[in-house]
Amino acid sequence: MPGNRFNAFQDYGVGIGLRIPHYDHIFAHRPAVDWFEIISENYMVDGGRPLRMLDRIMESYKRCFNTAFYVLRLSPGSETVSICDA
């Protein structure tokens, strides 16, 4: 079913960008959101606070946890990827 009468897009609900300043509010108030947008690079590590917070939020919203992954440094078609490109 279309999201609304003006387009044929699916209604994916309302989401927010998961950022460090939001952690405390999310744990204290557990806002009613349908999904979180995360910057993938922030969680591509072994351990650390961001990954622990993401795990806690996933556990808190386990009934239906959806994410939208946002990649900052993607270079499709490139032979090399540098995080130092100016």
Q: Is residue 61 part of a domain?
A: yes
Is a pLDDT exceeding 80 seen at residue 8?
Answer: no
Q: In whole angstroms, give the CA distance from residue 6 to residue 27.
A: 36
Q: Is residue 3 part of a domain?
A: no
Count: domains in the chain: 1
Q: Is residue 77 part of a domain?
A: no
User: pLDDT of 10-53, one tens digit each?
Assistant: 777 788 888 889 999 999 998 888 888 888 877 777 888 888 88
Q: Is residue 7 part of a domain?
A: no
pTM of the complete model? 0.61
Show the domain range for 63.
Answer: 15-70
Predicted confidence at residue 34, as pLDDT, reads: 81
Q: Is residue 6 part of a domain?
A: no
Q: Is residue 41 part of a domain?
A: yes
